[in-house]
Every structure is written in structure tokens, then in C-alpha cells.
Structure 1
Amino acid sequence: MATVQVSGMEVAYDRVGEGPPVVFLHGAAEDARVWRPQLDALADAFTVVAWDEPGAGRSSDVPESFGLADYAHCLAAVVESLRLGPAHIVGISWGGTLALEFYRHHADLVSTLILVDTYAGWKGSLPAEEVQARVEGARRMLAAPRGEFDPTLPGLFAGEPPAAYVPLLDAIAAVVRPETMRTQLSLMAETDQRDLLPTVSVPTLLLWGEQDVRSPLGVARQFQEAIPDAELVVIPGAGHVSHLERPEEFNRAVRGFCHAHS
């Protein structure tokens, strides 16, 4: 683990390997550890970095007024401090929305985008009634007493969570901060990045679980139509957390795409 100081906050990250830089952005209620299968598999050919975003894992708490652009600027500080840019930027779910916002503000630091089971914000990708249902579900979750708080979002896997990763997922869930999750989910509900998608000019891979119910394949098709020349790869039998449910297929797709565009 290493850290970068950004605007008075300490931002932690893991870094392994040597080669073209690939930066992984985790989803809501997660931290860098969720990318362990990718760090292990890709370090032979790439410099692989996974951060704990502000408010997650080993990083400092997120300020109350933090916005999506603030997350993007923090990520830029990490990439610049490590002299990694331009880098392949990989984001899943909330992390994919952040990857797009990072591109909006710091396109010079982006070599390619790999958007995984994600959204152009909930507002930009989902029907209004679905957004409202998720907001209400988040309110109920966050209103639970501290001892009963469960940050596990529904519909993450196509089937049961892979047994090999259950201890890891439990360990990550145990340290999720409700304040961070409140900020993330509120931002997701308010964000609409559809204006940004047609302006993306770097190679873009859309990597989607075939059975994702949180961000269905219809959302992937919206991205494919809006982003010029975006490539869609569908992972059979995977849900929303495709990088854990089908890591070999996921890693193969990332490796091939990054090699093709390094």
C-alpha cells in the first residue's frame, strides 16, 4: 500500500507490475481489494493500480460537500503523482461513472476507457421510476441502526457469490462507511452524463455481464450507440460483478484490449 496527499486527504492505492498503466476504479460499497483477481492476473504485463477512493478502505473520509468532479480531480492527483498518464482507466458500476467524469475533466490522462456494468449516472441510464425505487431503498438501508447496517446492494451476482471471494466480500462490507455510501448513491441518482458520451474520442471497451440486472444489457447498448466506435464484450453467465464472477473471461478481455491499444 502507498498513499498520496490530495487536498488534505490521504488517498491509498495498491500498485503491482510493470508495463502500460491500467487503473482500476471500484464500485460503491467497495475498495481496492475487490480488484485482487485483476492485480494478480495482469501484473505480468502491466503496471496495475487500484485505489481506495476517498471515503473507502484505507483512505481518508470523504468531505460532506464532495461532488463527482471532486472524485475525478482526486483521481487525477493520484495518476499524476505516479506519472502514469495517459492510462487505461477501468471502472465498474459507480467506478465507471467516475471514469467518465474523469475523462470529462482530465482527458489528457486517459489512454482508453473500459466501462464495466456501469451507468451514465442512474439518471442518465435508468427509467425515472427505477431511480426513485433505488433512492428509497438506499434511504431504508442508511436509516438502519449501525449494528444492522448492511451495504450489500441487491442483484450483484447472476447466481450465488463465488465461494472463493465470500470472505473477501464480507471483509470489505464490514468497513463500508454509511456516510460515503450516502454521498455515492445520492450522486448516482442525480448524475446524467449522456451529453458526454458522444464526445468520447479514446478507444472504449464496454464489458458487461450477460445477466446483469442492476445495469442490464440495454444500458450497454445505449453506451454502444452513443460512444463512437465503442466495442461491446458480453461475459456469459455473469451478473453485475463480472470481474469476480467470471475473472478469467474478464481478465482476458481487459488484457487483449489494453494490448491492442497500448
Structure 2
Amino acid sequence: MVRVGGVDVAYTRKGRGPVVVLVHGAGIDGRMWQPQVEALADEFTVVAWDEPGSGRSGALPAGFGLADFARALAAVIEDVGLGPAQVAGLSWGGTVVLELYRWRPDLVRSLLMVDTYAGWKGSLPPEEVAARVEGARRMLAAPREEFDPTLPGLYAAGPPERFAVLLDAMSRDVRPETMAAQLSLMAEADETDLLPRITVPTLLLWGERDARSPLSVAHAFQDAIPHAELVVIPSVGHMSNLEAPEAFTAAVRSFCRAHA
């Protein structure tokens, strides 16, 4: 646990070796990285945070912005104390990681952009952003007992059965006010100006059938980020780390080993 700007930020740390930091998406918490934390700890110090307002971390303060999430993530990396990290972000988490790189590039040894966006505004057509904002409004307007944080199009073939208990536990713990803030910030974020200025090794890791951040977004990242490497995992969607954990982890291990 590290305290940042009055918020307690929790993280899991396992293993020894070069540090790899895993940043989760919206409507979920650091437990989504359970397969990777377990598998990579034999070679790396693996860190998975619960961002402010999620999981075991404290409540999200009013007015908490994208830069505040980045500062909180920087504090976690500094608290680990092993120097610059290889930082992976999935979906909304990737947008947070880009903002971290904007403000604290000294803490980033390499970037792993996973099924992500340069913000919705930066990566999606305006009509798609508007549709998602409206969908989020309807979801968040539901009574608490009917609130379902599962966004459409997360999986190519439905939630993986072997992680059903884990997914259900995370879903029950989602705080609507946090998800509202995450999605609102994502809708307005545009990190495209940063992409050509990235100088660290960058892996783009995408599910072939990602419906939320389609491969066209990955190709736009590849065109914009100098020397970015694209790896596509066949037959999986947006939550590629849970739909194909073995293939996903192998790609992460190979990249992080090469740039440790």
C-alpha cells in the first residue's frame, strides 16, 4: 500500500528480477492479471495495482483526472523501488500508462500496450464515442442492485469458464462512481500527440477479434510509435490476457526478457 494525494493505493507484488507493472482496465481491478502474476513471477518482479477507486484501494476523490491516475501509478513504481519498469496497460489501463509516460518517462523502461486506446477520442470515430457514452449513461443509471459493469464486446466467445469465479468476484466489487469517472475520462482522452514521441521499446499486443479496440487501432499505434512491434493473438477479443493466457504470457515474457 502507498498513500498518494490522500488516497491509499494497493498493489500486489510477487517474484524477483526486473520489474513488470500491470495496469488493469475499467470496471475491473488488479485481479484480472492473476494468470500473468503467477506465471511471470519465476523471472520478474510482477506488480499489479488496484487503481484509486478500485479493488483494495481507497475511494476515488472528486475531480480525480487522468494525470492524477498517472501520478498514483508513478508513486507505486517508486514505492517498489527497483528503478524504471516495463509497464503494461490493457484497455483504459493503456491510456493511463500513456499518461504516465507523458509525465514520468524516467520511470518507464518499455511499454506494453494491450488492446488499448489513445483515449476513445484519440482512437475511435466520434459517432462510436457518442454511442459508448450513451451506453455508459444507461448502465450507470440502473439501480445499484441491477448494476452490471460488464461492457459489451469484451470477449470473442464469451467469458472464459476457467475464470468465471474470478470475473464474478471482480464484478461484484466494482464501484459505479469509479467506473463513471473512468469512462468519462476515456471518452475525452486523446493521447495521439504523444505517440510519435515515444522512444522506449514498445509492444502492441492485441486480440485478433477485439471488437472494442479493433486491429485498426493497433495499426494506427504501429504507424505512430517509432519501431513499435505488433503481436496479434489469434481468435481472442479485448480481454486477451484471460482468453488466451498462455499465448499472452509467452508474448509478454519474450518482450520483457529482451528489454530487461
TM beyond 0.5: yes
Displacement of 1:113 after TM fit? 0.1
Q: What are the within-5 Å matches in structure 2 for residues 14-93 of structure 1?
A: 14-93=12-91
Whole-angstrom CA distance in 2 between matches of 1:260 and 1:224? 19
Letter in 2 for 1:191: A
Cα deviation code 1:165-215 (max 9, x no counterpart): 011001000010000001000000000111000000000000000000000
Q: Which one of 226, 244, 247 corresponds to residue 245 of structure 2? A: 247
In structure 2, give the amino acid aligned to 1:83. Answer: G
Distance 1:159 1:252 in 2: 21
Task: Please give the per-residue CA displacement for 1:57-84, whole angstroms capped at 9, x wherever unaligned.
Answer: 0000111100000000011111111113
Q: State the one-letter code of the partner of 2:219.
A: R
Q: Does 2:255 correspond to 1:257?
A: yes
Identity %: 67
- Inter-partner Cα distance in structure 2 for 1:180 and 1:159: 27
Measure the CA separation in 2 of the matches of 1:20 and 1:82: 11
State the partner residue of 1:190: 188
Query: 1:85 Cα shift?
Result: 2.5
Q: Which amino acid aligns with 1:196?
A: L
Runs ≥4 in structure 1, deviation > 6 angstroms? none
Q: What's the RMSD between the two structures over aligned residues? A: 0.5
Cα distance in 1, alignment partners of residues 115 and 83 from structure 2: 24
Q: Corresponding residue for 1:103?
A: 101
Residue 114 of structure 2 corresponds to 116
Q: Which runs of 5+ in 1 are unaligned?
A: none
Alpha-carbon distance in 1 for matches of 2:248, 2:82: 23
Q: CA deviation at 1:22?
A: 0.1
* Aligned partner letter, 2:221: F
* Structure 2 match to 1:176: 174
- The size of the alignment, in residue pairs, is 260
Q: For residues 94 and 228 of structure 1, what CA distance do their matches in structure 2 show?
A: 22
| Local SS of the residue matching 2:196 | helix
Cα deviation code 1:34-58 (max 9, x no counterpart): 1000011000000000000000000
Following superposition, the deviation at residue 162 of structure 1 comes to 1.1
The TM-score, its normalising length taken from structure 2, stands at 0.99
Note the alpha carbon deviations across 1:203-259, whole angstroms, 9 max, x for none: 000000000000000000000000000000000011000000000110000000001
TM-score by length of 1: 0.98
C-alpha separation between the residues in 2 aligned to 1:135 and 1:161? 23
